Structure 1
Amino acid sequence: MTRQTVFSLALLIGFFSAATMAHSAEDGCSARLAAIAAKVYPGAKALPDNAFEVDGKTLTLPEQGSMGDDPHAMLCRIWPARPELMLVAVPLVDNPRQQDGNEGDLDMLVLDRQSLDVKGRYRVEGLMSDDAIFITELAFDTAFYQLAPGNVAFGLRKATRGSSSPNPYNDTTLWLFAIEGQQLKPVLENLVVAKFGGEWDMSCNGEFDSVNRTLTMAPTKSPMADIIVSDTLVHRLSEGTAEVCKDTEKTTTAKHRLRFKNGSYEVPKALSGF
C-alpha cells in the first residue's frame, strides 16, 4: 500500500464510519426529486444541465442513478426513525461548476413521504461555501439520536478536503436537526467527527495527526440527553526514504460531554470545524 493510498483511505474513514449513514437511492426517493423541487420551489426557473434557478442561486438535480456523487446536487433519504417522513438536502450554490470555490447555502427539508408537504424547513447559510478546502460529499446520518423520549434527531455529514499534497487535509463535520412543533431546528452544529492532516516531504518524512469521534446519547435527569463524544487521536511520525519508510504511532483517547443549553448542544471551539 502506497503512502498516497493511505492518505486516500484517511479521507473515507470518518465519513463512512456510521453504518446508518446513507445516500443511496435504495428507498426510491431519488426518483421524486424533480417533483420535490417543483413543489417546494414553485417559482424556480429551469436551467440547462438538470438545474433550476432559486433565489438567484442554482439548484442541481443529481444524474440518474448517481445521487450522492455530486456534493452540489439534491439529496434525499427516507427517515428510518419516522418512515412516514422524507429527509431532503438542497444545495443552493452561486455556481456549482466553478473550480476555484463556491458560495452557497443548504436548505434542509422534512417532507411528508406521500404528499411531499413540508413538515419542517431550515436554511443553513454558508454551508455550501468552499475554496481551497472544498466539499467532497454530503450524506444523511440517520443513527438513532434520541434527544428525549419521542424526540429523535437526524444528522447531516459534510466531508471536505484540501488541495495541497505536501500538506494533506480532510475532515468530516456533523450537524444534528430535530423537529420542534412545526419547525426544523439545528440542535448540534459543525462538530468535527473525523479529521486528518499533516506535512511531509512527498517522499516519506513527515508528521500527521488524525482524530475520529463517536457520539453516544446519555440520558440525564434533565429533559434532554447529554451527548458523550469519544475521541481516538493518532499522531504518526514518518522517517526514512520512499523505499524504507518507518512509521511511529502514538494513540490517545479522550471524552467530552456536550450538554443541551439554550436550544442546542454547546460544541467547544476545539471540536468545531472551520
Structure 2
Amino acid sequence: MRRYPFVAGLLATFCIAGHAACDTGLAERMHAKLHPQRQLDHERAVCEPWRGLPGRFIVVLPLPRPSSRPDASEFDLDVLVVQQADNGNTDRAKIVSRLFEEAALTEDAVRISAIKVDTARYVLAPDARAFGLRILHQGSSRDHPYSNETLTLYLPQGQRLVKVLDKFETVMELGAWDTSCEGNFETVHSSLALARSTSNGLADLNVRETRSESRSILQGEECVTQDRPAKFKSTMLRYNGKSYRASGNVAAD
C-alpha cells in the first residue's frame, strides 16, 4: 500500500517537470537551434509533454513562408519529438525524431485557428506508438459559416517521423443562411477507435461518422429550427504499408 503514494507523486513530478520545460521556452529554443534565420508563428507553436513517456516532448514549429498566392499565407511545419536530459536541463534536450514539411499549411479565407497535440493512446502495434496533431480551421464568412478539424497521426521510426494518417477530418460544420434566421446547416463528427485486426503490422482503425442536418425557418415572428434524423456510417481504415486508407463502408443507416 505504501507504493501507491510514491507512484502518484512520481507521476505528478513528471507532469510538473514536463509543463515546466514547455513553459520555460523549449519550443523557442528548438526554433533558435534549427531555424535561427526564420520567423516563428508564436501564436500557433506548440509544446506538449508526451503523456506516459517521461521526459519526452512533442514540439510543433509553424514557420511562415512566402506564398505563391497574394490572398493566402503558407507555413512550413517542423514537428519534433524531443527528449529532455536526465538532469532536467532543457538546453541539452535532444531531438529524437523529426519531420520537416515545406508549405504544409495554407491559410486564406479559412484561417488556422489553433494547432493542438493529441497524445491519446494510439498504440498501433506493441512497438509502434503514434501521436496526433489536430488542426482547427475557421471560416470568415458570416452568411456561409464554416469550420473543421483535421487529425494527422505521426509515428516515430528512428530519427524519422512518418505520417501514417494525413489530415483526417474529425469535425466539419457548415451552413448557408440569410444572417437573420432562415438557412440550412450541417455537422459531421468522426471518431477513431483501434480495431483488434491489423494490416501490414499496424492496427486497423474503426471510423464512426455522425452526420446531422437542420433547417431554420421563420414562422411568424419566431425562428424555428427543424432537425432532421441523424445519419450514421462506419468505415474501416487499413494500413497499406505507407499510410491508412479507407477500405469501404462497414455499415450505414
Match of 1:106 among 77, 83, 86: 77
After superposition, what is the alpha-carbon deviation per residue over 1:126-163, rounded to whole angstroms, capped at 9, x for unaligned?
23321111111110011111111131110000111111
Cα distance in 1 between the residues matched to 2:219 and 2:77: 45
Structure 2 partner of 1:201: 178
2:225 is the alignment partner of 1:247: yes
Cα distance in 2 between the residues matched to 1:242 and 1:168: 25
Equivalent position SS for 1:37: helix
2:154 is the alignment partner of 1:183: no
Structure 1 partner of 2:4: none
RMSD across aligned C-alpha pairs, in angstroms? 2.3
Runs of 4+ in 1 over 4 A off after TM superposition: none
2:58 is the alignment partner of 1:87: yes
Change in Cα spacing, 1:133 to 1:75, as seen in structure 2 (3 Å) is same
Gaps of 5+ in 1: 1-24, 45-52, 63-69, 269-274
Change in Cα spacing, 1:34 to 1:246, as seen in structure 2 (3 Å) is same
Equivalent position SS for 2:78: strand
The alpha carbon displacement at 1:118 in A equals 1.1
Equivalent position SS for 2:112: strand
> % of aligned pairs identical?
32
The alpha carbon displacement at 1:101 in A equals 3.0
> What is the TM-score of this pair, normalised by structure 1?
0.74
> What is the TM-score of this pair, normalised by structure 2?
0.80
Written as runs of structure 1 = structure 2, the 5 A alignment for 1:132-143 is: 132-143=109-120
Written as runs of structure 1 = structure 2, the 5 A alignment for 1:1-274 is: 27-28=19-20, 29-32=22-25, 33-41=27-35, 44=36, 53-54=37-38, 58-60=39-41, 62=42, 70-71=43-44, 74-94=45-65, 100-114=71-85, 115-222=92-199, 223-240=201-218, 243-250=221-228, 251-266=230-245
Cα distance in 2 between the residues matched to 1:129 and 1:197: 19
Aligned residues: 219
Equivalent position SS for 1:229: strand
- The structure number with the bigger radius of gyration is 2
Larger relative contact order (Cα-Cα within 8 Å, sequence gap ≥ 6): 1
